[in-house]
Amino acid sequence: MRKKVDFLVIGSGVAGLCFALKAANYGKVCMVTKAKVDDTSTKYAQGGIAAVVYQPDTYEKHIQDTMIAGDELSDRHIVELTIRESTARVMELVEWGVDFDKTKNGKFALAKEGGHSEFRVLHHKDITGLEIEEKLIIAAKQHPNIEILENHLAIEIITQHHLGIEVSRRTPDITCYGAYVYNPNTNKVETILSRITMMCTGGIGTVYGNTTNPTIATGDGIAMVYRAKGAVNGMEFVQFHPTSLYNPKESPSFLITEALRGAGAILKDENGVEFMSKYDKRGSLAPRDIVARAIDNEMKQKGCDHVYLDATHISKTEIFNHFPNIYAKCLSIGVDITKDMIPVVPAAHYSCGGIKVDEWGESSIINLFSSGECASTGLHGANRLASNSLLEALVFSHRACLKAVERFKDIDFCDDVPEWNTEGTVLNEEMVLITQSRKELQTIMCNYVGIVRSNVRLQRAFDRLEILYRETEDLYKKSILIPEICELRNMINIGYLIIKHAMNRHESRGLHYSLDYQGHRDESQSTHDLL
Ligand code: FAD
Ligand code: SIN
């Protein structure tokens, strides 16, 4: 028996939950999520959400900061609409029960992060994401029109390709009919037909060995849409967060929020000497691309494994009230941040690129929408401004919902879709083939496609990835599907997209920095270079 739903939502982070909660007021929602419902990047968000709430802040200032951080590659129209809708969207979170910190006089306590000219980041201590994820899950579980299927991995979106009709990247009317989804209870790939499909699968961080992202961040949605011949762009712009806790035994890396620098913490070398002012007059609070590159340079020049973040001069009251989670985590590895400098290192953190969507969150594939980290709206350009990601997810899930509910009743289910074909597949009994390929991919991406790139490094990555690609496709075709092989395949697709888009960009801009194009700008290049 195949399931038929009005709205199929893939992913249960802020983007998926926000869309589901709104769409459920109009029709049946089925949310599939490949792990536990709260296993998301959203849950780990620390700093908070950037939004304009009080003067002296203005929409114009936030727009300007976003454009500057994006190295002038952001789409101004998208930036303007996102920022202008920021106030309404965060107030909606408050209505859903999210408890942002307040000052003694009852106003929201606002923090500052890199690249922001004003204090505008709403937060819940240093665990904002957890607070949002928990409150949205409670609301979703209470909604009679939302069904949540945990541990269900979406494998492919269904298009006319599955009906035997050939599609190419030039086909103008590729249509999405739902998705093939792995059900762990039956061990089978099942067909879920939907009128509207909403892709909210989050980021790509695990493609790199060193990342702040949870293990779910394997870029599945972007890879699925790319394979279905949908438009994907901006994948060269991978954001490395400057300050993850240096603790080589731990993966993923624990984040030290930029809000700590907003509260006064300063980046220093092993001799306790501040170094950021050599690189940028904004010092430790320069935009992330600049800070991560500066740290990378310091580490390479001095041959060290990390630098330090000094928060020892910040008052204990501020540390205990605003950063209790970071304080406790650092203490657990023997670092008392009120007395000791924190060892930090950059780590892959956020994908600015992804599934290309319009101002309504609609992808190039008909009836397929996307929001959150897997979507590329044009907001971030070449580098995302801190704490603009949760905001983007809220704005675009809202806008996608407006469009989707307008249309869904006129969309018929496609009953011709065949069941998932398992012919000729056997159980792969060599897990080592998957785990080792995953490690090889992560090593390639870290060594050759990191913060600083060059033509030679990218070509080397491309050649090595090609071997992994061929081996994995071969294994995939022969195997009875298990989540691990599907994720590996997606990660390799993502690695390919990052490398290919990086090779296509003949300039250094924002997060894409190439030794071959230092100081070179090519004004003819946009983020809308498609493969
Ligand atoms: P996620 O929250 O990652 O959710 C993705 C969902 O998709 C998960 O439920 C996952 O299981 C599911 N999924 C994935 N693939 C499949 C599949 N094939 N089938 C079924 N389900 C699937 N941003 C800010 O704005 N402010 C911050 O303070 C901030 N701090 C951060 C701190 C950390 C440590 C990290 C990692 C990120 C931070 N970010 C922050 C970025 C921000 O948290 C994320 O970009 C955002 O939460 C992404 O939300 P999302 O809904 O798109 O994806
Ligand atoms: C942080 O708290 O530093 C992360 C904020 C973000 O990724 O936007």
Ligand 1 center from residue 526 Cα (angstroms): 26
288 tagged catalytic: yes
Residue 416 domain flag: no
For residues 80 and 211, membership in a common domain is answered with yes
* Mean pLDDT on 464-479: 96
Query: Does 47 contact ligand 2 (Cβ within 6 A)?
Result: yes
| Residue 18 and residue 397 in contact, taking contact as beta carbons nearer than 8 Å | yes
Asked if 342 and 356 sit in the same domain, the reply is no
Q: Give the pLDDT score at 513.
A: 96
Same-domain pairing of 64 and 169? yes
pLDDT for residue 245 is more than 80: yes
Residue 521 to residue 497: CA distance in whole angstroms:
22
Closest ligand to C-alpha of residue 391 is 1
Which residue's CA is the closest to the ligand 1 atom numbered 47? 42
Q: Which ligand is nearest to the CA of 86?
A: 1
d(CA 123, CA 89): 14
**Domain around 323:** 243-346
- Establish if 358 belongs to a structural domain: yes
- Say whether both 443 and 400 belong to one domain: no
Biggest distance spanned by C-alpha atoms of the chain? 68
Mean pLDDT for the chain overall: 96
Residues 309 and 403 in one domain: no
E-strand stretches of 42-184: 49-50, 110-111, 121-122, 146-149, 153-158, 178-183
Residue 118 within any structural domain of the chain? yes
Q: Give the integer Cα–Cα distance in Å for 504 and 509.
A: 13
Tell whether ligand 2 has an atom less than 6 A from the beta carbon of residue 46: yes
Among candidate residues 324, 346, 368, the one where a domain is terminated: 346
pLDDT above 70: residue 528: no
Q: If you count them, how many residues does the chain have?
A: 531
Q: Return the structure tokens found at 497.
A: 């997209």
Task: Give per-residue pLDDT as tens, 206-227.
Answer: 999 999 999 999 999 999 999 9
**Residue 415 domain flag:** no
Q: How far apart are CA 328 and CA 2, in angstroms?
A: 48
Give me the sign of the Cα torsion angle 16, 18, 21, 25.
negative
176/133 same-domain check: yes
Residue 466 pLDDT: 98
User: Helix or strand or coil: residue 334?
Assistant: coil
If asked whether residues 305 and 399 sit together in one domain, one would say: no
Binned at pLDDT 50, 70 and 90, residue 119 comes out as very high
Q: pLDDT tens across 401-427, in order?
A: 999 999 999 999 999 999 999 888 888
Locate all alpha helices (DSSP H) within 312-363, ordered by sequence. Answer: 316-322, 324-332
285/368 same-domain check:
no
- Predicted pLDDT of residue 430: 86
pLDDT digits (tens, 9 = 90+) for 261-279: 999 999 999 999 999 999 9
Tell me the per-residue pLDDT of 126-183, one tens digit each, with 9 for 90 and over. 999 999 999 999 999 999 999 999 999 999 999 999 999 999 999 999 999 999 999 9
309, 325, 346 — which closes off a domain?
346
Q: Tell whether the model's pLDDT for residue 531 goes beyond 50.
A: no
HEC string of 424-472? CCECCCCHHHHHHHHHHHHHHHHHHCCCEECHHHHHHHHHHHHHHHHHH
The confidence score (pLDDT) of residue 146 equals 98
Using DSSP's 3-state secondary structure scheme, residue 177 falls into: coil
Check pLDDT > 80 for residue 91. yes
Q: Are 450 and 509 contacting, i.e. CB atoms less than 8 angstroms apart?
A: no
Please indicate, yes or no, whether residues 223 and 332 belong to a single structural domain of this protein: no
| Residue 429 pLDDT grade (very low, low, confident, very high; cuts 50, 70, 90) | confident
> Percent of the chain at pLDDT above 90?
94
Same domain, 253 and 147: no
Distance from residue 202's CA to the centre of ligand 1 (Å): 4
For residues 57 and 153, membership in a common domain is answered with yes
Q: Does 50 contact ligand 2 (Cβ within 6 A)? A: no
What is the tens place of the pLDDT at every residue in 374-392?
Answer: 999 999 999 999 999 999 9
Instruction: Quick: pLDDT tens for 28-65.
Output: 999 999 999 999 999 999 999 999 999 999 999 999 99
Backbone angles phi, psi at 427, to 5 degrees: -75, 125
Q: Is residue 322 part of a domain?
A: yes
Is residue 287 in contact with ligand 2, taking CB distance under 6 Å? no
From 9, 39, 42, 44, the mutation candidate for ligand 1 (largest count of ligand atoms within 8 A of CB) is 42
Q: Which two tokens stand for residue 414?
A: 């496609």
In a domain, 25, yes or no: yes
Which CATH number belongs to the domain containing residue 253 in this structure?
Answer: 3.90.700.10
DSSP assignment of 113-150 equals -TT-SS--EE-STT-HHHHHHHHHHHHHHH-TTEEEET
Specify if 121 maps to a domain. yes
What's the CA angle centered on 239, arms 207 and 373, to 5 degrees?
A: 75
Residue 527: pLDDT band (50, 70, 90) is low
pLDDT for the residue numbered 428: 81
Mutate to test the pocket of ligand 1, among 390, 484, 488, 491 (most ligand atoms within 8 A of CB): 390
Based on the structure, what is the number of domains in the chain?
A: 3
Domain-terminating residue out of 346, 377, 397: 346
**C-alpha radius of gyration, the chain, whole number:** 22
CATH number at residue 115: 3.50.50.60
Q: Please tell me the distance between residue 302's alpha carbon and the centre of ligand 1 in angstroms.
A: 34
Which CATH number do you get for residue 472? Answer: 1.20.58.100
Residue 453 dihedral angles phi and psi, to the nearest 5°: -120, 170
Distance, in Å, from the CA atom of 413 to the CA atom of 513, rounded to the nearest integer, reads 46
Q: Are residues 380 and 404 in the same domain?
A: yes
Choosing from 89, 120, 195, 288, the catalytic residue is: 288
CB neighbourhood size of 165 (10 A): 10
CB 327 within 8 A of CB 256: no
**Cross-strand pairs, 7:** 29, 196
220 lies in some domain: yes
What integer pLDDT is reported at residue 519 of this predicted model?
81
Work out which ligand 2 atom sits closest to the CA atom of 349: 7
Instruction: Please identify which residue in the block is written with the tokens 């979507």.
Output: 375
* Residue 392 pLDDT: 98
